[in-house]
């Protein structure tokens, strides 16, 4: 059963409460500790070797379990990391300590919950669930509450007629009997079953970054159904084999681009029903396209009416209390990753999106903010100093361990600007377990070149250095521009290159102007250089493949709630007389050529480049 699919809400009466924090070491008793059964089936990638004990099957999640970690074993494969990055040598002790903390945390969760698999599937017991007799069982965690009540359409919004019963460790439970005709008191709205299996994980990852709501030329919020019908065929034709969906997690403020999440266990209702999203993903799978969710576990909306903030009346239910629990730049709340129940909530959230919607992986937003107490980075020593939020690091290790153990084909991508060493190495090698990181310096380099350097003065050696300057043995997703460059206040590459002439001189019915000629050629050159040298995967934001002429600005008070710039004008590329078709065709041919020759997964470039003449002339 899924949460947030009905018209009802919780009403909470408050009193101070306490959270459950992970013990400092494995000798400290864990909450709700249970003895382990001796006959549990164990399907687990052993920490000592990284070898799967059994292949996970999607239909048998409930029968899988994580084996107990041996916290005395050292890091098994650290040598490869040390040999690749000599600067990491002085911090070998930090890596071993971090791995030990991860193994201990895994063991604590497992001993307390029976199996780690059960712990990460807590969405099956928390929230709202229907029993075979149509009794609804509701379970929530609100340690600071004095009383909880359920109210909604089913009881005419009577605030105190349906109280929860307090359980141990801040948990609350309510059983809601069926109505007179024996049907559930609250109707469940989802009925769809998936028809297609997940496609195999691509060896060359070509990502189409997309936002469902702007996927139409019309000035409105587009739907899941629109995306399935009109956008998916374009993605397939362009040669992309992966879609990264933004703003899917429910968010009250549309202009937040989906990064101020108010409900982590709900797909955004402004785009349609949950089943519509499932159809979108199922259709993508039928086309051989994998789908990633842009997941936001780095922070949460500060809303109190419809978000997690002050959920139980305190500022420290899911978040750090006081100053530490607020992100001053983002105006949002920061999770307390040392909390037992926060860990349950977030790991279960990942499982829920994988199991209920069949996503193929995640792009983790705001990883840099999670890794460091100061939410940024200074010098190399800060990768392992007191500035690092070790609890957030351990959470990310647990998340990657969970996903890659139970879903071996799962893809995880980290948005990190700090260059944390080992971020995309396996946990057994001393890393955090991500598959890819974003090369966030590359788009900045292209904007700097276009703004500050004349065409004839381009320093190709410096450009190639930027494109190839990444950590060895750690895969990267490269891009010339993403949604960040499309947002209002910035300009896309096409706009930097051709500016106002994109409105008047992109038609083939007149002679091509020098500005448009230069812009089209450099747009192609920049994307090809980035695609071929910048990483082990490639990303493009929707519309930029054909040089979308305008920025992205969601309706807000500052633009009179206009949808004019909250759309993608695919009609431009469909018009045969407009030169946007040339850029679109080049993007398709570039992807199809990569699909044929496979330069993305090829070995990282290690040779030094020598240029006899680092300038060139477009003429």
Q: What are 224-264's pLDDT values in tens digits?
A: 999 999 999 999 999 999 999 999 999 999 999 999 999 99
pLDDT band, residue 193 (cuts 50/70/90) = confident
| In the predicted structure, residue 169 carries a pLDDT above the cut 80 | yes
pLDDT score for 361: 98
pLDDT band, residue 615 (cuts 50/70/90) = very low
| In the predicted structure, residue 427 carries a pLDDT above the cut 70 | yes
Would the CA dihedral through 517, 518, 524, 527 be positive or negative? negative
| In the predicted structure, residue 72 carries a pLDDT above the cut 90 | no
pLDDT score for 188: 75
Please tell me the pTM assigned to this model.
0.88
Q: Which of 69, 107, 98 is nearest to 422 (CA)?
A: 98
- The span from the CA of 519 to the CA of 492, in Å, is 12
Which pairs from 521-527 meet CB under 8 Å and 24+ separation?
521/618, 522/455, 522/497, 523/493, 523/494, 523/497, 523/547, 523/583, 524/583, 524/586, 526/446, 526/480, 526/493, 527/480, 527/586, 527/587, 527/590
The catalytically annotated residue of 140, 294, 360, 365 is 365
DSSP 472: T
For the chain, domains (ranges, CATH) are 120-176 (2.60.40.10), 205-597 (3.20.20.80)
Query: pLDDT: is 41 or 483 the higher one?
Result: 483
pLDDT score for 12: 54
Q: What are 527-561's pLDDT values in tens digits?
A: 999 999 999 999 999 999 999 988 889 999 889 99
Per-residue pLDDT, averaged over 176-205, amounts to: 89
pLDDT band, residue 21 (cuts 50/70/90) = low
Lowest mean pLDDT among 9-13, 467-471, 554-558: 9-13
Active site residue 365: yes
242: which strand partners?
Answer: 207, 290
Q: What are 108-161's pLDDT values in tens digits?
A: 998 988 888 999 999 999 999 999 999 999 999 999 999 999 998 889 999 999
Side-chain-facing half-sphere of 506: CA atoms under 13 Å: 25
pLDDT band, residue 19 (cuts 50/70/90) = very low
Q: Answer whether 268's CB lies under 8 Å from 280's CB.
A: no
Lowest mean pLDDT among 77-81, 187-191, 337-341, 615-619: 615-619
- Strands 127-130 vs 205-211: parallel, antiparallel or unpaired: unpaired
Q: Which of 383, 362, 394 is nearest to 291 (CA)?
A: 362
The catalytically annotated residue of 415, 474, 545, 550 is 415
pLDDT score for 583: 97
pLDDT score for 86: 87
pLDDT score for 379: 64
Would the CA dihedral through 543, 544, 549, 553 be positive or negative? positive
Q: Bin 311: left if φ > 0, else alpha if -120 < ψ < 50, else beta.
A: alpha
pLDDT band, residue 23 (cuts 50/70/90) = low
Q: Answer whether 196's CB lies under 8 Å from 286's CB.
A: yes
| In the predicted structure, residue 562 carries a pLDDT above the cut 60 | yes
Q: Answer whether 243's CB lies under 8 Å from 289's CB.
A: yes
| In the predicted structure, residue 392 carries a pLDDT above the cut 60 | yes
Q: What are 393-402's pLDDT values in tens digits?
A: 999 999 999 9
pLDDT score for 619: 33
Query: pLDDT: is 617 or 274 the higher one?
Result: 274
Q: What are 369-381's pLDDT values in tens digits?
A: 999 988 665 566 7
DSSP 229: I
pLDDT score for 38: 29
For all residues of the chain together, what is the average pLDDT?
86
Q: Bin 310: left if φ > 0, else alpha if -120 < ψ < 50, else beta.
A: left
pLDDT score for 465: 95
- The span from the CA of 518 to the CA of 360, in Å, is 39
Structure tokens at 425: 């190495």
Q: What are 513-526's pLDDT values in tens digits?
A: 999 999 999 999 99
| In the predicted structure, residue 64 carries a pLDDT above the cut 70 | no
Q: What are 273-302's pLDDT values in tens digits?
A: 999 999 999 999 999 999 999 999 999 999
| In the predicted structure, residue 3 carries a pLDDT above the cut 60 | no
pLDDT score for 8: 53
pLDDT score for 314: 94
Helical (H) or strand (E) element with 436: strand 436-438
- Strands 145-152 vs 136-141: parallel, antiparallel or unpaired: unpaired
pLDDT score for 22: 60
How distant, in Å, are the alpha carbons of 53, 213, 570, 571 from that of 574? 51, 20, 7, 5
| In the predicted structure, residue 2 carries a pLDDT above the cut 70 | no
């Amino acid at each position: 059963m899924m949460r947030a699919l009905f018209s009802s809400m919780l009403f909470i009466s408050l009193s101070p409460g306490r959270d459950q924090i992970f013990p400092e070491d494995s000798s400290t008793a864990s909450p709700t500790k249970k003895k382990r059964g001796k006959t549990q089936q164990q399907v687990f990638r052993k920490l000592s070797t990284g070898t799967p004990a059994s292949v996970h099957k999607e239909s048998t999640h409930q029968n899988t379990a994580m084996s107990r970690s041996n916290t005395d074993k050292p890091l098994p494969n650290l040598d490869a990391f040390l040999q690749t990055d000599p600067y990491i040598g002085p911090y070998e002790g930090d890596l071993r300590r971090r791995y030990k903390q991860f193994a201990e945390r895994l063991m604590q969760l497992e001993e307390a919950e029976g199996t780690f698999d059960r712990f990460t599937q807590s969405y099956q017991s928390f929230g709202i669930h229907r029993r075979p007799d149509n009794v609804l069982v509701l379970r929530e965690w609100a340690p600071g509450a004095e009383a909880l009540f359920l109210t909604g359409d089913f009881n005419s919004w009577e605030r105190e007629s349906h109280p929860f019963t307090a359980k141990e460790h801040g948990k609350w439970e309510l059983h809601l009997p069926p109505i007179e005709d024996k049907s559930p008191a609250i109707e469940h709205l989802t009925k769809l079953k998936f028809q297609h299996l997940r496609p195999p994980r691509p060896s060359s990852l070509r990502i189409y970054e997309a936002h469902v709501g702007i996927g139409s030329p019309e000035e409105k919020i587009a739907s899941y159904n629109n995306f399935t019908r009109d956008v998916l065929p374009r993605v397939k034709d362009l040669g992309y084999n992966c879609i990264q969906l933004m703003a899917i997690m429910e968010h009250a403020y549309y202009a937040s681009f989906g990064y101020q999440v108010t409900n982590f266990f709900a797909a955004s209702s402004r785009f349609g029903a949950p089943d519509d999203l499932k159809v979108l993903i199922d259709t993508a799978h039928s086309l051989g396209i994998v789908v990633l969710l842009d997941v936001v576990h780095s922070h949460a909306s500060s809303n109190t009416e419809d978000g997690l903030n002050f959920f139980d009346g305190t500022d420290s239910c899911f978040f750090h209390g006081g100053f530490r629990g607020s992100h001053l730049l983002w105006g949002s709340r920061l999770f307390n990753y040392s909390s037992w129940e926060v860990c349950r909530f977030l790991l279960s959230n990942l499982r829920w999106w994988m199991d209920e919607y069949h996503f193929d992986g995640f792009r983790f937003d705001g990883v840099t903010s999670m890794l460091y107490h100061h939410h940024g980075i200074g010098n190399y020593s800060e990768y392992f100093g007191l500035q690092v939020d070790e609890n957030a690091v351990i959470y990310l290790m647990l998340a990657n361990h969970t996903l890659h153990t139970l879903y071996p084909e799962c893809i995880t991508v980290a948005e990190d600007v700090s260059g944390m060493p080992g971020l995309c190495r396996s946990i057994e090698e001393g890393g955090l377990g991500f598959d890819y990181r974003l090369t966030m310096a590359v788009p900045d380099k292209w904007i700097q070149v276009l703004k500050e350097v004349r065409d004839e003065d381009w320093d190709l050696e410096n450009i190639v250095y930027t494109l190839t300057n990444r950590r060895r043995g750690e895969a990267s997703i490269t891009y010339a521009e993403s949604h960040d460059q499309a947002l209002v206040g910035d300009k896309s590459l096409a706009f930097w290159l051709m500016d106002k002439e994109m409105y008047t001189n992109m038609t083939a019915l007149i002679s091509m102007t020098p500005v448009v000629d230069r812009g089209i050629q450099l747009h192609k050159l920049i994307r090809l250089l980035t695609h071929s040298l910048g990483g082990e995967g490639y990303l493009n934001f929707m519309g930029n493949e054909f040089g979308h002429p305008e920025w992205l600005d969601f309706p807000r008070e500052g633009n009179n709630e206009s949808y004019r710039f909250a759309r993608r004008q695919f009609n431009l590329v469909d018009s045969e007389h407009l030169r946007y078709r040339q850029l679109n065709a080049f993007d398709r041919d570039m992807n199809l050529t990569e699909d044929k020759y496979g330069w993305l997964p090829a070995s990282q470039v290690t040779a030094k480049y020598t240029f006899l003449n680092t300038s060139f002339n477009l003429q």
